[in-house]
Amino acid sequence: MTKSRPLVSGLIVAAIILSGCNQSTKTQTSHSTKTQTKSNQPAAVAPKSSSTPSQPIIQSVVASIHGQPYGKGLQAVRFVSSTTGYMAGNGIILKTADGGQIFTTAAHASVNLTGLSVARTTTATVAAWGNHSILVSHNSGSNWSASTLPHTVQQVDFATSSIGFAITGHQGSPAGYAAFPAWVLWRTIDGGAHWIQVPTSSPPASISFGAASVGWMSTANGDIFRTVNSGQTWSLVTQIPTTNAESTSLKPFVSLHAASAQICWALVVGGSGMNQASYSVFRTTNGTNWSPVLATSTAGAGPAPGNPGKVPPGPGSSPGPMAVVGGSSSAVLAGECRACGFGTTSVSSTQNAGASWNNFPTIQNGGASISMSFVSPSEGWLLDSSGADIFTLLQTLDGGSTWKEVYPMAHPHPVNSVSFVNAQVGYGVGVPGDAGALLKSDNGGHTWSEIGHVPTAANGFVTAQLVFLTEQHGFLVYNSPSPNKSWIYETNDGGASWTLLKNPNGYGVSLTFTGTQDGVAFNQTQHWATTNGGKTWFQVHLKSPWLPWLPASDPAVAGLYLAGLAHLTMAKTLTDIVHSQNSGQYDQIGFAGSQVAWTPDQSQTGFLLTTDGGAKWSNIHGVSNVDFVNGEDGWALSGGLLRTTNGGKTWTYASHPTP
pLDDT at 9 over 50: no
Task: Dump pLDDT digits (tens) for 607-625.
Answer: 889 888 888 889 998 888 7
pLDDT in tens, 307-329: 888 999 999 989 999 999 988 89
Q: Mean pLDDT over residues 386-397, rounded? A: 82
Spell out the long-range contacts of 191-195 with Cβ–Cβ below 8 A and sequence spacing 24 or more: 191/125, 191/136, 191/138, 191/161, 191/162, 191/164, 192/127, 192/134, 192/136, 192/145, 192/147, 192/158, 192/164, 193/145, 193/147, 194/147, 195/134, 195/147, 195/149, 195/166
Half-sphere exposure of 426 (CA within 13 A, CB side): 30
Residue 62 has pLDDT above 60, yes or no: yes
Q: Decide the pairing of beta strands 596-600 and 616-621.
A: unpaired
pTM of the model: 0.77
Query: What burial class does residue 389 get, using C-beta atoms within 10 Å of its C-beta: 0-12 exposed, 13-18 middle, 19+ buried?
Result: middle
48 DSSP assignment: P
Nearest alpha carbon to residue 515 among 114, 33, 81: 33
The architecture (CATH level 2) of 72-167 comes to 6 Propeller (2.120)
249-274 per-residue burial string, b: 16 or more CB within 10 A, e: under 16: ebbbbbbbbbbbbbbbbbbbbbbbee
Into which CATH architecture does domain 57-67+411-653 fall? 6 Propeller (2.120)
pLDDT at 422 over 80: yes
Q: What is the pLDDT of residue 557?
A: 44
Torsion angle defined by CA atoms of residues 611, 612, 613 and 619, in that order, rounded to the nearest 10 degrees? -50
Residue with more model confidence, 438 or 47: 438
Residue 545's closest CA among 561, 529, 566? 561
Give tens-digit pLDDT for 401-414.
999 988 888 788 88
Q: Which amino acid is at 641?
A: L
Residues with Cβ within 8 Å of residue 25, at least 6 apart in sequence: 33, 34, 35, 36, 515, 593
> Is the per-residue pLDDT at 212 higher than 70?
yes
| CA angle, residues 132, 136, 138, in degrees to nearest 5 | 170
Higher pLDDT, 28 or 146: 146
Q: Angle CA(404)–CA(78)–CA(278) in degrees, nearest 5? A: 80
Read off the pLDDT of residues 522-565 as tens digits, 9 standing for 90 and up.
Answer: 776 677 777 788 888 877 665 433 333 333 344 444 444 343 34
Q: Structural domain boundaries of the chain? A: 57-67+411-653, 72-167
The pLDDT of residue 534 is 84
Q: Are residues 529 and 537 in contact, defined by beta-carbon separation less than 8 angstroms?
A: yes
pLDDT digits (tens, 9 = 90+) for 155-201: 999 999 999 999 998 644 333 333 445 789 999 999 999 999 999 98
More confident residue, 274 or 104: 104
Could you give the 3-state DSSP secondary structure of residue 277? Answer: strand
Chain centroid, CA 212 distance in Å: 38
The answer to whether the CB of 406 falls within 8 A of the CB of 393 is yes
Query: Cα angle at 401 between 396 and 405, to 5 degrees?
Result: 35
End-to-end CA distance of the chain: 23
Residue 206 has pLDDT above 80, yes or no: yes
Work out the mean pLDDT of the chain and round it to a whole number: 79
pLDDT band at 582 (very low <50, low <70, confident <90, very high): low
Average pLDDT over residues 295-311: 88
Confidence check: pLDDT of 593 > 90: no
DSSP string for 508-574: S-EEEESSSS-EEEE-SS-EEEESSTTSS-EE------S-TTS-TT-HHHHHHTSTTGGGSTTHHHH
CB contact at 8 A, 133 and 147: yes
Amino acid letter for position 189: I
Which has more confidence, 636 or 55?
636
Give the range with max mean pLDDT: 42-56, 446-460, 564-578. 446-460
| CA angle in degrees (0–180, nearest 5) for 129-130-136 | 20
Portion of the chain with pLDDT greater than 90, in percent:
43
Element (H, E) at 125: none
Please enumerate in sequence order all residues whose Cβ is within 8 A of that of 189, keeping only pairs 6 or more positions apart, or say none.
Answer: 162, 163
Distance CA 174, CA 600 (A): 52
Model pLDDT, residue 158: 98
CA distance 569 to 615: 9
Specify the higher pLDDT residue, 575 or 147: 147
pLDDT of the residue at 188: 98
Task: Identify the residue with better confidence: 275 or 117.
Answer: 117
Rounded to whole angstroms, what are the CA distances from 183 to 187, 227, 246?
14, 19, 14
In DSSP terms, 147 is beta-bridged to: 134
Residue whose C-alpha is closest to residue 428's, from 473, 468, 487, 393: 468
What does each C-alpha distance from 331 to 116, 212, 258, 265, 317 come to in angstroms?
18, 20, 10, 8, 19
- Same topology for domains 57-67+411-653 and 72-167, yes or no? yes
Can you tell me the mean pLDDT for 349-377? Answer: 90
Identity of the residue numbered 318: S
94-135 confidence digits (pLDDT tens): 999 999 888 899 999 999 999 999 999 999 999 999 999 999
Q: What is the pLDDT of residue 412?
A: 85
* Confidence at residue 571, expressed as pLDDT on a 0 to 100 scale: 63
CA distance linking residue 236 with residue 217, whole number of Å: 9
Query: Which residues does 422 contact at the CB level (< 8 Å), separation at least 6?
Result: 34, 629
